[in-house]
Amino acid sequence: MTSLMHHRALITGASRGIGKATALAFAKAGIDLVLVSRSHQALAEVAAEIAPLNVDVQLFAVDLALVEQVRPQIESIVSQFPTDILVNNAGMGYTGDLLSTSLTDWQQVLALNLTSVFQCIQAVLPTMRQQQQGTIINIASIAGYQAFPGWGAYNVSKAGLISLSKTLAAEERAHGIRVVTLCPGAVNTPIWDTETVQANFDRTRMLTPETVAQTILHTALLPPGAVIEELTVMPSSGAL
Angle at which helices 152-172 and 116-131 cross, to 10°: 20
* pLDDT for 1: 40
> Which mean pLDDT values do the consecutive 10-residue runs of the chain (240 residues) have?
72 96 98 97 97 97 97 98 97 94 97 98 97 97 93 96 98 97 88 78 85 97 94 80
* pLDDT for 3: 47
Whether the CB-CB separation of 208 and 187 falls below 8 Å is answered with yes
Whether the CB-CB separation of 83 and 9 falls below 8 Å is answered with yes
Q: Is 30 left (phi over 0), alpha (psi -120 to 50) or beta?
A: left
* pLDDT for 240: 58
Q: How far from chain centre, in Å, is Cα 19? A: 7
Domain 8-233 has CATH 3.40.50.720: yes
Whether the CB-CB separation of 93 and 141 falls below 8 Å is answered with no
* pLDDT for 238: 66
Rg over CA atoms, the chain: 17
Domain-wise residue ranges, the chain: 8-233
Model confidence pTM above 0.75: yes
Per-position DSSP letters for 4-32, written without gaps between them: SS--EEEEESTTSHHHHHHHHHHHHTT-E
Catalytic residue ranges? 154
* pLDDT for 189: 81
CB proximity list for 48: less than 8 A, separation 6 or greater: none
